Structure 1
Amino acid sequence: MLDAQLQTQLQNYLTYVKQPFELVATLDDSASSRELLELLQTIERLSEGKITLRTDGTAVRRPSFAIRRPDGTPNLTFAAVPLGHEFTSLVLALLWAGGHPPKVAPEALAQARALDGEHHFEVFMSLSCHNCPDVVQALALLAIVNPRVHTTVIDGALFQQEVEQRNVMAVPLVLRNGEVFHSGRASLEELLAKLDTGAAARAAAQLAAKEPFDVLIVGGGPAGAAAAVYAARKGIRTGVVAQRFGGQVNDTLAIENYISVLETDGPKFAAALEAQVRHYGVDLINGQSAAALLPPEAVGGYVGVRLDNGATLRARSVILATGARWRNLNVPGEAEYKNRGVAYCPHCDGPLFKGKRVAVIGGGNSGVEAAIDLAGIVQHVTLLEYAEQLKADAVLVDKLRSLPNVTVLTQAQTLEVQGDGQRVTGLRYRDRASGAEHTIALEGVFVQIGLVPNTEWLDGVIERNRFGEIVVDAKGHTSVPGVFAAGDCTTVPYKQIVIAAGEGAKAALSAFDYLIRTPVPSSAAVSANTEAEVALPA
């Protein structure tokens, strides 16, 4: 199952296991049970006696396995054969259970250990979902460090009948004590904030007490990360506030056009961005959203960024790099059936629609790639494009049209996503050539119609165009002095990772040029000696 190279890597990782524990497997005579048994036997063999395997488990789900230390903890079960994107989650769970310390902020770890109440989590994921590992790893860690937390990780493709019965239509999906708790990607800090009701107020107080930044970057995608690196290398106090570091890159499966990087995937690229930003000692404030941009006269001469939690951060200059998000159809039924048949990530949610009929809305590269990907999983794909022709690259269109279980409809205007109150049952569209309306019976709708900039919170403050993009000049200046912008949220054409990174670097250089020509506000002093502030973390 694991090739020689992967076994060697796993064996090296398992040397970090310091205390013994057991893997307790619950199996049957299925092929997936045989596959899981082979994986667990390999782990036992490579651990050199530190991990032992039992096959007398009595769990409800088969196949599954629990991780158990001699004291009976943790309460962690994988109802899955955790390979693919979840192999890293498995390795980390083994290391943490064996006493290897997690690479987590001390305050987050302390918060996890102090969490009150009994929490029984069920995490539905798919092995092809690149958004799932963050959630799986966060809840696995909670179960390992807190005996009041029980976590079961469930592969939706492996337990299709349960997925149907419990109406799981998107992953990752987290149930807590039997009720829906969270859907979509989330970090440990974000999940803790939802569980710990006092966390938001404490975080707001801590953030409001921060000293002013020389440069504050709003957004943690490629543009924000590049801006942070370039600013920090100038030796100035630099901060980044981001809802999710890495931004939409986290949702990108393959990256093959970033110069000097032959091939990588979105989560790996985002992790590399974060590592480089932290390397330069940037104050990274993750899991926070900006709510308003405040003028200097309102914040003692600084530009202010008010966050959703009520805290206001101050800075001599601000770089807006808030990126963009998936564009919605804005038709009846879309919002009602989101995560109940309406999806935006074919790689994450595609396995949940195995053997079913789905539609893909959008004939650009992302839409056609999604349709090709889904065609290998589902019964039938109908691709709908509003224009007269598909806009995707010719090689993709040729591949799409060669697939026997794909129907392409051009000049098709989506009118409504239909459902039975629980899940999607169909889609209604208009043929723009004839004016006739049609209904397609299906179970899933994947929306792939482009992006919209995350700039609504700047309404009335910063000049934007009719698409909502921030208007910038050749140096990244916005309509407000001291405020710069970069990346997919701006008027710069061609929304590409490499372009966003270049624009972020440019904005940081422009901000530095602005700072050296602008006096420090007299209401407070920013330390002239910033050496310690950009030193590498211990």
Structure 2
Amino acid sequence: MLDHDLKEQLRAYLERVTHPIELVASLDDSAASQELLALLRDIESLSPQVSLRTNGTEPRKPSFAIHRTGTDVGVRFAGIPLGHEFTSLVLALLQVGGHPPKVAAEVIEQVRNLEGEYVFETFMSLSCHSCPDTVQALNLMSVLNPNIKHIAIDGALFQDEVNERQVMAVPTVLLNGLPFDQGRMTIEQIAARLDSNATQRDAERLNAKAPFEVLVVGGGPAGAAAAIYSARKGIRTGVAAERFGGQVLDTMAIENFISVSYTEGPKLAASLEQHVREYDVDLMNLQRAEQLIPAQEEGGLIEVRLAGGASLKAKTVIVSTGARWRNMNVPGEQEYRNKGVTYCPHCDGPLFKGKRVAVIGGGNSGVEAAIDLAGIVDHVTLLEFDSKLRADEVLQRKLRSLSNVTVIVSAQTTEVLGDGGKVTGLAYTDRHNGESQRVALEGVFVQIGLLPNTDWLKGTLKLSPRGEIEVDARGETSVPGVFAAGDATTTPYKQIVIAMGEGAKAALSAFDYLIRLPVAEVEEAAA
């Protein structure tokens, strides 16, 4: 099942297991069950600490549990956790086997102290790069707290259950049989949701922090670069980010990051965070900025108010809040979001296997999505508002070679249709003749660009008509002491490498601003 190199890597990992673990498989006569059995036998053969039995009673087959022998500590998988979920499998083996997790001590204590009974089910797909974070977070929580149970379910393998429970996006998490949340989640986020006092404690902790010399708001490539460049100057630096990594976490293949021929978004985001943590940076994750209050006088403190009720103060602020997927803003889009309307073909594509879907958008992202989906779904209809596709010609040639793709240009999407529970079709207007048309389908993948995350800055900073923060060549905004970088700004070409450069430049500009302030002002602000 596993090749030689992978076996040797896994063997080395399993040497860290300190408590015996037992694999308990629930199987039937299917080919998938035989594949899972081969995988589990390989794992058993790699460590004397691992045993296997095949008399499990889990109703989902194939599935298996990983138990710490003699205890009720364990996690479960329904499916064969390969692809992006192989790392989740390895971590589950180690953590159930007693290897300590790389999580802050206060988070571990918070999870252990959660009261109540929690049964989580996570529907994921093996091609989803957002799913492992959620699966790994809930697996670890089930290891730390015996009152928490979790099973990760491969939606592509259990299509009947996906259809019955109307799961149309991954990861989808259910708690005690009811919807809990969708999308990438960290252990800190989930624990905060379950801990009713977490918000108040967090606000008190943040309010007590001394003013920063540089406060970076946003944790994507621009924010990470700004933090590193600031910290290297030896000045007090903080980062407040809603989710560290930003939009990079939702990016699959990255092939234009100079000197790195190929990487994936989550991997790059993890590297960015690791690099930032090598410096004396106060990284405050899960913090959404809601208001920027300029200094009352030149050289005074700038205040950033956060969603949880806390506020942070700083001598300078670098805004790098990035951008988000643009919505179509048509009737039915929000009603059927994650019920057929989705924005990630890599994550959610497997859930639409054998079905009819539409892709909205004829740029590179839209055409790439259509190409990817064509290998999974029954038929793809690509709709483009313009009179021609805007994607690179090499992508268009590939698209035209696919027999199960229909391209419709000059099409203005007007409504997402559904039956109240899920998407059933799409309505559009033919811009050539004004006629209304309908397409019967089960999924809509929206790929029409980005919107800057700057709503919280309206009326404070000067924004462009597109909502981008207006910056000069130094990254300065319209407010003294406030700088900006990355996809939230008017800097053209929204690329990772450009965002990093702009973040570094903004940090250097902030430092230059600080050293030019009168000494008395700097000392007073830092007091």
Structure 2 length normalisation: TM-score? 0.98
8 Å Cα contact 1:73/1:147 also seen in 2: yes
Q: Which moved more, 1:192-201 or 1:352-361?
A: 192-201
Contact 2:19 2:69 in 1 (8 A): no
Equivalent residues of 1:301, 1:523 under 8 A apart: no
Cα distance in 2 for partners of 1:300, 1:195 equals: 41
SS at match of 2:272: helix
Aligned partner of 2:436 in structure 1 is 437
Q: Which residue of 1 aligns with 2:309?
A: 310
5 Å-filtered alignment, 1:178-189, equals 178-189=177-188
Deviations, residues 231-274 of structure 1 (Å, cap 9, x unaligned):
11001111111111110001110011111111100000000000
Unaligned residue ranges in structure 2 (runs of 5+): none
Amino acid at match of 1:37: L
Match of 1:338 in 2: 337
- Letter of the 2:335 counterpart: E
Amino acid at match of 1:382: T
User: In structure 2, what residue type is equivalent to 1:27?
Assistant: L
1:67 offset after TM fit, Å?
Answer: 1.1
Q: Per the alignment, in what secondary structure is the counterpart of residue 64 of structure 2?
A: strand
Q: Residue 145 of structure 1 aligns to which amino acid in structure 2? A: L
CA distance, structure 1, for counterparts of residue 141 and residue 523 of structure 2: 43
Cα distance, 1:298 vs structure 2: 9.2
Task: Tell me the amino acid that sits aligned with residue 36 of structure 1.
Answer: L
**Structure 1 residue 397: deviation in Å?**
0.5
Amino acid at match of 1:91: V
Distance in 1 between residues matched to 2:98 and 2:365, nearest whole Å: 43
**Is 2:300–2:525's contact at 8 Å kept on the other side of the alignment?**
no
CA deviations over 1:143-169 (Å, ceiling 9, x no partner) = 001000010110000100000000000
The separation in 2 between residues aligned to 1:92 and 1:75, in whole angstroms, is 12
The aligned counterpart of 2:24 is 24
User: Shift of residue 75 of structure 1?
Assistant: 4.2
Asked whether the equivalents of residues 68 and 74 of structure 2 are also in contact (C-alpha less than 8 Å), the reply is no
What's the Cα RMSD here? 1.3
Instruction: Identify the residue that residue 70 of structure 2 maps to in structure 1.
Output: 71
**Structure-2 separation of matches of 1:135 and 1:301:** 41
Q: How does 1:373-384 map to 2 (within 5 A)?
A: 373-384=372-383
Where does residue 267 of structure 2 map in the other structure? 268
Structure 1 residue 297: deviation in Å? 2.2
Does the CA-based 8 Å contact 1:75-1:149 persist in structure 2? Answer: no
What does residue 536 of structure 1 align with? none
Structure 1 position 522, deviation (Å):
7.3
Q: CA deviation at 1:193?
A: 0.9
Q: What are the equivalent positions in structure 2 for 1:19-418 lying under 5 Å apart?
A: 19-47=19-47, 49-297=48-296, 301-418=300-417
Q: Give the drift of 1:281.
A: 2.2
Tell me the TM-score normalised to structure 1 length.
0.96
The letter of the residue matching 1:210 is K
* AA of the residue aligned to 1:6: L
* CA deviation string 1:377-435 (max 9, x = no partner): 00000000000110000000010011000000000000000000000000000000111
Shift of residue 473, structure 1, vs aligned partner: 0.2
Cα distance, 1:301 vs. partner? 2.6
SS of the residue corresponding to residue 239 of structure 1 reads: strand
Task: Find the aligned partners of 2:36 and 2:433 in 1 and give their Cα distance.
Answer: 54
Distance in 2 of aligned mates of 1:254 and 1:69: 36
SS at match of 2:51: strand
Contact 2:299 2:517 in 1 (8 A): no
Between the aligned residues of both structures, percent identity stands at 65
Q: CA deviation at 1:18?
A: 0.8
Which 4+ residue blocks in structure 1 deviate beyond 6 angstroms? none
8 Å contact kept, 1:302–1:521: no
Distance of aligned partners of 1:199 and 1:300 in 2 relative to their CA distance in 1, 3 Å threshold = farther
Contact 2:475 2:484 in 1 (8 A): yes
Helix, strand or coil: the match of 1:143?
A: helix
Aligned match of 1:14:
14
Counterparts of 2:103 and 2:299, CA distance in 1: 35
Structure 2 Cα separation of the partners of residues 26 and 200 of structure 1: 41
Number of residue pairs matched by the alignment: 526
- Find the counterpart in structure 1 of residue 471 from structure 2: 472
- Alignment CA distance shift 1:177-1:523 (3 Å): farther
CA distance in 1, matches of 2:352, 2:459: 43
Which stretch shifts more, 278-287 or 374-383? 278-287
Q: Is the 8 A contact 2:74 2:96 kept in 1?
A: no
Q: Distance in 2 between matches of 1:504 and 1:315?
A: 17
- Give the secondary structure class of the aligned counterpart of 1:452: strand
Deviation at 1:300, TM superposition (A): 10
Q: Which of 160-169 and 518-527 deviates more?
A: 518-527
- Tell me how far 1:282 sits from its aligned partner: 1.0
